[in-house]
Amino acid sequence: MSDLSPASGPRWLTIIGIGEDGPAGLGEEARRLIASAPAVFGGSRHHALAASLISGERLSWQSPFERSVEAVLERRGTPVVVLASGDPFLHGVGATLSRHVAAEEMRTIPAPSAFSLAASRLGWPLQEVATISLHGRPIDLIRPHLHPGRRILALTSDEKGPGELAALLAAAGFGQSQLTVLEALGGTRERQRRAVAADFDLAEIDPLNVCAVTVAAGEGARILPFSPGLEDDLIEHDGQITKREIRAMTLSALAPRHGEMLWDIGAGSGSIGIEWMLADPSLKAIAIEQSPERAARVARNASAFGVPHLAVIEGTAPDALKGLPQPDAIFLGGGGSEAGVVDAAIAALKRGGRLVANAVTLEMEAVLLLEHATRGGSLTRIEISRAAPVGSMSGWRPAMPVTQWRWTKG
């Protein structure tokens, strides 16, 4: 059995979290390691904070960041210190370096994260709070968390972030949400200021800030429920959309699992890929759509639902599928009756992956019946009726029936 205790192995890389209080907030070991390191990597702010301790070479982060990772790795086997903000493994450089350096080669001395500091200042139990990093990431990522009464801690990119967040809240119907901006936490410049999102007027905000949001929903607020099958009128579409009841059953059939990749072939409005990604932050999806207008609409919908990283490929299957990351699941909602599409999808699917195809046309249904007869799987007939006026009374108006084929690759 190998020894994985902190003392085992040649630990050449040390990652140290430093707060706004600089050396005063560091322990004796962290100060000693910084002082004795031949090379100290970090941002200009980190170097300034630890300036009184650093005697070795100061190496600033480069752009793109991969160049800095390479520079760190070139020194493998010799002592290297990396300075980071707060907890290096919470949206920090530690997470990036750990993809290249084994745990046995590094030691980490974390400081409290910005989220921990903010929660302690506000008296918010951290396990009951949604935490999200918007640092260098799309602000739309906050949208799935906007539920009445929800508490959110959001790390922003700069001094503009709080105002941009307030504007998003107001535009989405959450203008009465309370926004607390916590600036330069842990340092001499630390302060807190509050404003209602719709009336946000804070100025001269420190670039290093965390926004605490207590969500209040106004009439018509755009709340995204946790359940699959979101209301159709939340989604921008031109009629080419998997309706909510069918969508809920389709997501159930696709059965998303942690970290998986979905191909949504013939994406239409993008609703299936969007709801797939909403199920868990680890999920990824690629929407393939031949219409330029619809492809642009998919991208807009993805941002509006807080999943802006949904990849959109404009093109026609099967040619557009070439070179894409291998999928764990595939949905065929449109274009599946075209020659070669089903075969190409099946060939690309990982072993154990799921393929779900919906048919509303006779041509696509014929394809699915043949595939079922040839490959097996399961067939389901889905018929939905909705109450509608019939003269002065009401009656059931049936929607087009859907034939759904589900198949798992052995």
Cβ partners under 8 Å of residue 218, min gap 6: 173, 174, 175, 176
Task: Judge if 106 and 125 occupy the same domain.
Answer: no
- Mark whether 321 and 395 lie in a shared domain: yes
CATH number where 137 lies:
3.30.950.10
**Structural domain contains residue 225:** no
Q: Is the pLDDT of residue 5 over 90?
A: no
Is 227 domain-assigned?
no
Residue 102 reports pLDDT greater than 90: yes
Average pLDDT of the residues of the chain: 94
Out of 111, 138, 172, a domain closes at: 111
Last residue of a domain, one of 214, 242, 268: 214
190 and 75 assigned to the same domain: no
Inside any domain, residue 256 = yes
Asked if 97 and 157 sit in the same domain, the reply is no
Would you say 331 and 246 are in contact if contact means Cβ atoms under 8 Å apart?
no
What is the predicted pLDDT for the residue at 67? Answer: 95
Residues 6+ apart with CB under 8 A from 251: 228, 229, 272, 275, 276, 279
Q: Do residues 239 and 368 both lie within one domain?
A: yes
CA dihedral over 101, 102, 103, 107, signed as positive or negative: negative
CATH number at residue 59: 3.40.1010.10
Task: Name the band, by pLDDT with cuts 50, 70 and 90, for residue 106.
Answer: very high
Here the tokens at position 6 are 């902190």
> Counting every residue, how long is the chain?
410
Q: How confident is the model at residue 10 (pLDDT cuts 50, 70, 90)?
A: confident
Task: Give the pTM.
Answer: 0.89
Same-domain status, 251 and 268: yes
- 392-407 pLDDT per residue, tens: 999 999 999 999 999 9
Q: With respect to residue 3, please indicate whether it lies within any of the assigned structural domains.
A: no
Residues 298 and 368 in one domain: yes
Q: Give a yes or no: residue 73 inside a domain.
A: yes
**Domain region containing 17:** 13-111
Least confident of 137-141, 169-173, 337-341: 337-341
Same domain, 239 and 155: no
Please tell me whether residues 161 and 68 are part of one structural domain: no
Q: Are residues 68 and 183 in the same domain?
A: no
User: CATH number, domain at 304?
Assistant: 3.40.50.150
Give the pairing type, strands 106-109 and 178-183: unpaired
Identify whether residues 125 and 210 lie together within a single domain.
yes
Task: Give the model's pLDDT for residue 337.
Answer: 72
Asked, for residue 6, whether it belongs to a domain, the answer is no
**Where is the domain boundary, 185, 214, 243?**
214
Contact 365, 337 (CB under 8 A): no
Selection from 194, 145, 191 nearest residue 166 by Cα: 194
Shared domain check, 119 and 107: no
pLDDT tier at 308, thresholds 50, 70, 90: very high
State the total domains in the chain.
3
Separation in Å, CA 388 to CA 244, 283, 402: 17, 38, 20
